[in-house]
Amino acid sequence: MSDTGTKTDGRVERGNQTRRLVLGRTMDIASVEGLDGLSLGRIATELRLSKSGVFALFGSKEELQLATIRAAAAVFAENVVVPLRDVPPGARRVRALCRNWLTYSSERVFSGGCFFYAVSAEFDARTGPVHDAVARARHDWTAYVEQSLTEARAAGDFDADLDVEQSAFEVIALMEAANAQSVLFGEKRAYERAEQGITARLRASATDRGLAGLDAGDEAE
């Protein structure tokens, strides 16, 4: 490889490292203060980077916000969805998915609890690219929960007349209520209450096969 190529690769890697450093900080800030709490100047000062260098990577506050949302979605998936890649569709997988979300929130992967709960409240009544990105991420998560329930119903773990959209709405509402209460009051009991509610909701619609899967999930812990 030529010296020019080596230098170019080195600059690219340094740029990637700086980008990861910046986004690691912006995700945490946004989970606590919201996406409006981000600015190129603030990040440069806090991380002792040149403002021009940060601007070269992101270009504008809006692009920094959008990049932060994309990065947070990847972290969310890594903590909530990826651990289930080897778990077959069914009631056990649905329950594990919900538990992963509760753990992601309770262990403060982001300092402010669930990143997407925080920024949704901030941007729900606005318009524009940042609102659209937040809405898309929320829609994708709801669709994933609905897909997991649909697959479990098809596998015979839930009653054939299970209302997937309603069930997804209810379990997500319980998870987010636990997140909100825990962040506001600084306590973890809300997560236990949410899990009890989610378990009761799933068991109410489970077939004998589904109940066996849910019980197997308990034994595996």
pLDDT given at position 66 = 98
Q: Across-strand partners of 158?
A: 206
Using CA atoms, how far residue 92 sits from 87, 200, 202, 209, 215, in Å, is 8, 13, 10, 10, 8
Does residue 32 sit within a domain?
A: no
Q: pTM of this prediction?
A: 0.90
Calculate the average pLDDT of the chain. 93
**Tally of domains in the chain:** 1
Percent of the chain with pLDDT over 90: 86
Does residue 10 sit within a domain?
A: no
Does residue 151 sit within a domain?
A: yes
163-217 pLDDT, tens per residue? 999 999 999 999 999 999 999 999 999 999 999 999 999 999 999 999 999 998 6
Does residue 24 sit within a domain?
A: no
Q: Token pair of 21, please?
A: 């450093």
CA-wise closest residue to 110 among 166, 201, 11, 26: 26
pLDDT given at position 6 = 55
| CATH at residue 148 | 1.10.357.10
Mean pLDDT of 51-57: 90
Domain with 185 in it:
66-220
CA-wise closest residue to 25 among 8, 50, 42: 42
Task: Compute the distance between CA of residue 116 and CA of residue 121 in angstroms, rounded to an integer.
Answer: 9
Dmax over CA atoms of the chain, in Å, equals: 67
Does residue 60 sit within a domain?
A: no
Does residue 16 sit within a domain?
A: no
Does residue 27 sit within a domain?
A: no
Does residue 6 sit within a domain?
A: no
* Category of 158 on φ-ψ map: left (φ > 0), alpha (ψ -120 to 50) or beta: beta
